[in-house]
Structure 1
């Protein structure tokens, strides 16, 4: 089964405008499948293959010479960083666009080399796992949102027959063994795995580095460094407070989310969708799922995140503020409950009074099925996010 990706259109645009394009994102998010589908006639080479990597490392000039006429898809390009300098010379000597397509799952290594050698010559597309919209457009619908939270959104979970817990167990080990072993910042992989699980148990919460470090037996600085690694390898993303002060007494630390709710659920210890129904982390998982959908919508179209949150010292909070190019802030609250409650509107009402925002451009996303326009805001079911997408 081939799942059509929204990002394909943006990838085609970048290939028209740049001599090279890099598609980056977490492992197994569908980067290779996407680029081979969009560019079926360009030769493909994988630098995780030992023989191919050895050839590229020992003789990068000759390795690239075989692709000077045809171009190439170079998968996991960060494994041979010396290629980038030679690639620069080839690109500068040709006028053709879209000749080299690079992919990489280690953003911290790949982007460093791109900025050193290919800045201004390469278009960059970030690809996260499948969005709910992509699943729906390919005829895949889940009965309950708990099924999305448990199964997650990695393509293989929908194209192959595999139990999510088996998939995520292998995924974590691959990430730890392949990616992190290459980095000097992580010597103790077992301790880092504990850190990863502690992060999952804080999904949807404000990051307290001291508390996070203490729970894992590491110091504040190490907790910061390790969270940065998770962020640059697309395991987590951080949503920061908005800089516009409607109230001076604001919380400043970012909130923590996982790019895939299924991975977070696995790390928390959830092994079935039924376990989510009464789980204390249900709200955090629901929030990471919905705000992740907003992020995927942006990235699939080549835009960076415009998502923030807001919380003051009195406890009022808006889960997500969408910054529309500095002209408007769209508030979105996320509630996992299936029944609309008056409590859903407390923070929205407070924010609208403070900011002057209109109810019709304020939203609560919840776990139910009814689309309603209330006096305080627009209430949307979790699987009907179109009105918010229109404002992203």
Structure 2
């Protein structure tokens, strides 16, 4: 298959010549190895028993191979991280090592953070701009520099976005026939429950309870429902529920495997905003996985079926669409060296789906709407935030499912998701 260029390739183009070691991290199946292989001269795939044994016996092997050296699934031999770090101390020449990993550092490993030696880049499933190359007409980077042209036309409508959600952003899954893709998503979830956590040294006493919790978490997609509410949804008829400590362990380790990918609550620095909620917004690695866990297909989503934790009047398809938007926006923001959060006041008076913040603390507020048109009530919270933040808020955006990208008379940019890119 032809390689599909990723947004992260742009970051690697910029960083690799001057950085000795880069770790590409993300969930299994997002495409880390395929991207790294295109740049490597030597490869150590540590899921290969022979290479695993060779590196375990001789960590110095990484310094004798022709660079860039790709160490794939490095977490399977945790000491290699510190060996690479020391190699960078000895010779900081750019482009020496690429490490790929589908788990954060194992909790049992006492490793140096690598700060200053190994740069970490997060790879997520395919963003919309990666799924539809050359379709984007509005640049996130230019929005963040207040220089964006907001125009373009999209041919996608709500049913197209529903199908795109279900196709998945995993490169190896999305082009399969429908039934095969559903089977692969089922297998992905089963492997998480039955193998991935155990392979990471986590004892799961009740796989059924973990599966139920993961399904409840999926139903909470794009909400900031409390973890106790998620637990109650996972065990509605059970008096003997898993303890909070057990559920916290689930969450911690699933995050370490990049399976859960929550958006943190945004708290501004040097700003007057107070009484902001601190609960993260819940997202799985891919909204297709969330839809499969909950058990909803295209027809059910379009009919508005599905229990969810979003506000009254919203739909589970709307929650999944927001998750798809979030996945894409986080990918684009990373390239622009920006961070992403969400905002909600404690009393729920104001809520903004996504905040992108530049290193200079200027921000963009984004609302997500599963509909083709935008009316005044859709931008009320954006105008509230603009009044609070003043010049620090450099743009206001609504991402929707419409046909055209344009600016409203009040300055709010309306951008169909298919037209937004890095």
Query: Please, what TM-score do these two structures have when normalized by structure 2?
Result: 0.80
2: CA distance, partners of 1:366 / 1:102: 37
The answer as to 2:248 corresponding to 1:224 is yes
Distance change (3 Å), C-alpha of 1:82 and 1:137: same
* Alignment check: 8 A CA contact 1:60 1:82 kept: no
2: CA distance, partners of 1:319 / 1:362: 12
Counterpart residue number, 1:47:
46
Question: RCO higher in 1 or 2 (8 Å CA, sep ≥ 6)?
Answer: 2
2: CA distance, partners of 1:3 / 1:107: 26
The answer as to 2:186 corresponding to 1:169 is yes
Per-residue CA deviation, residues 55-92 of structure 1 (Å, 9 max, x unaligned), is 333x1346547x34556311111111133344445444
The alpha-carbon deviation at position 102 of structure 1 amounts to 1.3
* Alignment check: 8 A CA contact 1:359 1:375 kept: no
The alpha-carbon deviation at position 352 of structure 1 amounts to 3.5
Distance change (3 Å), C-alpha of 1:124 and 1:247: closer
2: CA distance, partners of 1:188 / 1:73: 37
The answer as to 2:127 corresponding to 1:126 is no
The correspondence of residues 196-275 of structure 1 with structure 2, limited to 5 A, is 196-216=214-234, 217-244=241-268, 246=272, 248-271=274-297, 273-275=298-300
The correspondence of residues 1-392 of structure 1 with structure 2, limited to 5 A, is 1=1, 2-39=3-40, 42-57=41-56, 59-61=57-59, 63-64=61-62, 67-70=64-67, 72-94=69-91, 96-109=93-106, 115-116=112-113, 118-137=114-133, 144-158=160-174, 160-161=176-177, 163-181=180-198, 182-184=200-202, 186-216=204-234, 217-244=241-268, 246=272, 248-271=274-297, 273-279=298-304, 280-299=315-334, 301=335, 303=337, 305-325=339-359, 327-356=361-390, 361-376=395-410, 377-385=412-420
Distance change (3 Å), C-alpha of 1:47 and 1:70: same
* Alignment check: 8 A CA contact 1:372 1:378 kept: yes
Distance change (3 Å), C-alpha of 1:93 and 1:314: closer
Q: Give the secondary structure class of the aligned counterpart of 2:261.
A: strand
* Alignment check: 8 A CA contact 1:149 1:289 kept: yes
Q: Give the secondary structure class of the aligned counterpart of 1:240.
A: coil
Q: Give the secondary structure class of the aligned counterpart of 1:153.
A: coil
Q: Any unmatched runs of 5+ in structure 2?
A: 137-154, 235-240, 305-314
1: CA distance, partners of 2:87 / 2:379: 58
* Alignment check: 8 A CA contact 1:204 1:256 kept: yes
The alpha-carbon deviation at position 302 of structure 1 amounts to 7.2
Per-residue CA deviation, residues 174-216 of structure 1 (Å, 9 max, x unaligned), is 3333420023364433221211111100001113022223334
Q: Which structure features the higher share of helix residues?
A: 1
* Alignment check: 8 A CA contact 1:125 1:302 kept: no
The alpha-carbon deviation at position 10 of structure 1 amounts to 1.9
1: CA distance, partners of 2:84 / 2:11: 23
Distance change (3 Å), C-alpha of 1:54 and 1:359: closer
Distance change (3 Å), C-alpha of 1:278 and 1:353: farther
1: CA distance, partners of 2:55 / 2:188: 27
Give me the CA root mean square deviation: 3.0
Distance change (3 Å), C-alpha of 1:72 and 1:177: farther
The alpha-carbon deviation at position 101 of structure 1 amounts to 1.7
